Amino acid sequence: MSTPYPTPISPHKTRVGWIGIGVMGSAMASRLLSAGYSVTIYARTPSKAAPLLSQGAHFADSPAAVAGSCDVVFTMLSNPSDVRQIVLTRNDSVLSGLKEKGVLVDHTSSHPDLAKEIYAAAREKNCWAIDAPVSGGDIGARTGNMAIFAGGDGAVVDWLLPILRILGNKVTLMGGAGSGHSCKIANQIMVGGSMLGVCEGLVFAGRAGLDRERWLEAVKGGAAGSRVMELFAKRMIDGDFRPGGFSEYMVKDLGMGVDFVEGAKDEEVVVMPGAALCKDLYTGLVASGCGKMGGQSLISFIERINGK
């Protein structure tokens, strides 16, 4: 049984493929399995698939094999280069195996231009591609409390809603192909600035002799309060740098924003000194060996700058 677009999605009929089972991807795929969907996965490191296989997922030996057996394929990968390889350029790529009227959804924080290229390649096969990066971190991936920024055809996004609403509690169509990724880049510019603000607030509060947990309780109900503070401030205080998203991903995401501006036409350039500064700070953090730690580990770098 299958439900290629536009046949309505059903947990008992729609066949879902999932490629990318890191911290975020595994949690998201797990939610679909718990909701009753048949999920086929591919992982470059098969041992990482064990927890999902124990939930009932099926394993395929290539991206093409996943695509050939599914109505909709989700990717949640590390970098745009991984997306290009897995979706487009490998001999056994997703698009080489995706059947007519199949749908690809890329949740990776990737580049808008690549999303447009994938969309065009999908349409040549009478398939569809949606870029749909997410925001909410590892906790949001586990609980389904995430924002999803979708780019592509609105009718296809509407068709996907029964699945997307399992993964996130807010789904917004931003526009055509690539607009979801543009939204995520802007989101990460704000997250980077907010993360830096929380780090420096905590460092200053500690140096001023304040109890940092009491300081956090005092300010989070005022104008300084934010989702970033809610998700990461206590982790910073506790020295819990386990990743929801790797610090090196912040370099990638902020870099796409800064590089996009640097590559734009003169009349399109927007100066973003804050984003450039955050990128430089995260680059320093990664260079110090913390690339695989969570983004909240930036506080350790700010503390070292201050001699701690």
Q: What is the CA radius of gyration of the chain?
A: 20
Query: Active site includes 184?
Result: yes
Amino acid at 107: H
**158 contact partners, CB below 8 Å, separation of at least 6:** none
> Which of these, 246, 251, 254, 248, lies nearest to 22 by C-alpha position?
246
Cα 257 to Cα 12, 125, 185, 279, 302: the distances in Å are 41, 31, 6, 10, 23
CB 272 within 8 A of CB 279: no
Tell me the three state secondary structure of residue 173. Answer: strand
> Which of these, 162, 89, 156, 163, lies nearest to 127 by C-alpha position?
156
Tell me the three state secondary structure of residue 42. Answer: strand
CB 45 within 8 A of CB 77: no
Q: Catalytic one among 184, 220, 252, 265?
A: 184
Q: Which active-site residues does the annotation give?
A: 184
